[in-house]
């Protein structure tokens, strides 16, 4: 029987906020920037904030196969939906059912991580999954840390949006 020593702290919190993205690739670093801003603000004791970087799948999979106590999962990520009329720096909620079904096992800079795992958590584990996104300006083809101005200005708005989900 597992004595709990190898279980990460977030596994037992009722609310988990995951910031996804790579801060070395411009606007893709939005999720980690929001996590850092939330750490500076402070969060309630029942909330755990986690910089998932580009390893969201490695965090979500144990939740699907394990006995997580997470009741609410909030994903914060950068997306590219300019072809749907979104403008850089716009923040919005994306219903899990609207997440792309193409390449559901992948994580990319333009797609919410592992949408199949998010659906499984919602449908079979009764975790309330909330996906909050920010429209990117661009993602560089090479290492270029730092958010564009519109996306950088969206960090505090997203923090306000996220905090509304733990109240």
Give the per-residue pLDDT at 57. 79
**Residue 61 is assigned to a structural domain of this protein:** yes
Residue 46 lies in a domain: yes
DSSP state of 81: -
Q: Model confidence over 1-50: pLDDT tens digits?
A: 355 566 667 767 899 999 999 999 999 999 999 999 999 999 999 999 99
Flag whether 26 is in a domain: yes
pLDDT of residue 56: 83
Please report whether residue 137 resides in a domain.
yes
| 126: alpha, beta or left? (left if phi > 0; alpha if psi -120 to 50) | left
Q: Quick check: 72 and 127 in contact, CB under 8 A?
A: yes
Whether 16 is covered by a domain: the verdict is: yes
**pLDDT value, residue 105:** 41
pLDDT for 110 equals: 42
Residue 1 lies in a domain: no
The model carries a pTM of 0.86
Residue pair 94/133 in contact (Cβ under 8 Å)? The answer is: yes
Q: Residue 21 sits in a domain of what CATH number? A: 3.40.50.1450
Q: Is residue 4 part of a domain?
A: no
Q: What is the pLDDT of residue 104?
A: 40
pLDDT number for residue 101: 59
Residue 5 has what pLDDT? 63
The domain of 26 spans 10-163
CB 76 within 8 A of CB 38: no
Q: Domain total for the chain?
A: 1
Flag residues of the chain having pLDDT under 70. Answer: 1-8, 11, 100-113
Q: What is the pLDDT of residue 59?
A: 81
Does residue 3 fall inside a structural domain?
no
Comparing C-alpha atoms, which of 112, 93, 90, 91 is closest to residue 103? Answer: 112
């Amino acid at each position: 029987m597992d004595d709990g020593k190898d279980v990460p702290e977030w596994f037992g919190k009722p609310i988990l906020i995951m910031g996804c993205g790579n801060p070395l690739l411009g606007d893709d670093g939005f999720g980690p920037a929001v996590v850092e801003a939330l750490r500076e603000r402070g969060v309630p004791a029942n909330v755990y904030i986690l910089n998932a970087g580009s390893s969201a799948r490695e965090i979500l999979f144990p939740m699907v196969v394990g006995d997580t106590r997470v009741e609410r999962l909030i994903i914060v990520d950068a997306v590219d939906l300019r072809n749907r009329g979104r403008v850089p720096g716009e923040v919005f909620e994306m219903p899990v059912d609207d997440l792309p079904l193409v390449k559901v096992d992948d994580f990319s800079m333009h797609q919410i991580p592992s949408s199949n795992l998010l659906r499984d958590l919602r449908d079979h584990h009764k975790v309330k999954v909330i996906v909050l996104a920010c429209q990117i300006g661009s993602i560089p083809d090479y290492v270029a840390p730092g958010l564009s101005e519109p996306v950088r200005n969206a960090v505090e708005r997203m923090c306000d949006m996220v905090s509304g989900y733990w109240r």
